[in-house]
Amino acid sequence: MKNSGNGLLGAALIGVGLGLTAVGVALVIPACTNWSLGLLDEAVRRGRDTLNSGMETAASVAGNLSGRAQKKFSEASKTARHHTVKAATAVENAARQVREHAAS
């Protein structure tokens, strides 16, 4: 008899837990949806404000990126030329040493 009572009490508690879970999900889903829509609305508003202000247009963003890329490529080119000159000098020195050693 006591086992049956405990079983019924356990089943009732499981039912209450499932009910509370359903209520929790029913409350969380709208809150998450509202939060997500708020973030999306904020992002759209920022984008609209940026475009309306005239400070950042697609052309200016592309121009800025192009300028940065050109600067990086110029720096990389200078570095590559510098390393190439160093490597060529090292090869010339090694060749001279080989010639001198072969001549001796």
31/68 same-domain check:
no
41/29 same-domain check:
yes
8/52 same-domain check:
yes
2/47 same-domain check:
yes
What's the domain range around 37? 1-56
Q: Specify the pTM.
A: 0.36
63/12 same-domain check:
no
Residue 54 DSSP symbol: T
pLDDT of residue 56: 56
At 15-69, the pLDDT tens digits run 888 888 888 888 788 877 888 888 888 888 887 776 666 555 666 666 777 777 7
77/50 same-domain check:
no
pLDDT class of 104 with cuts at 50, 70, 90: low
Query: Please, are residues 53 and 47 in contact by the beta-carbon 8 Å criterion?
Result: no
62/87 same-domain check:
yes
pLDDT of residue 67: 76
Q: How many domains does the chain have?
A: 2
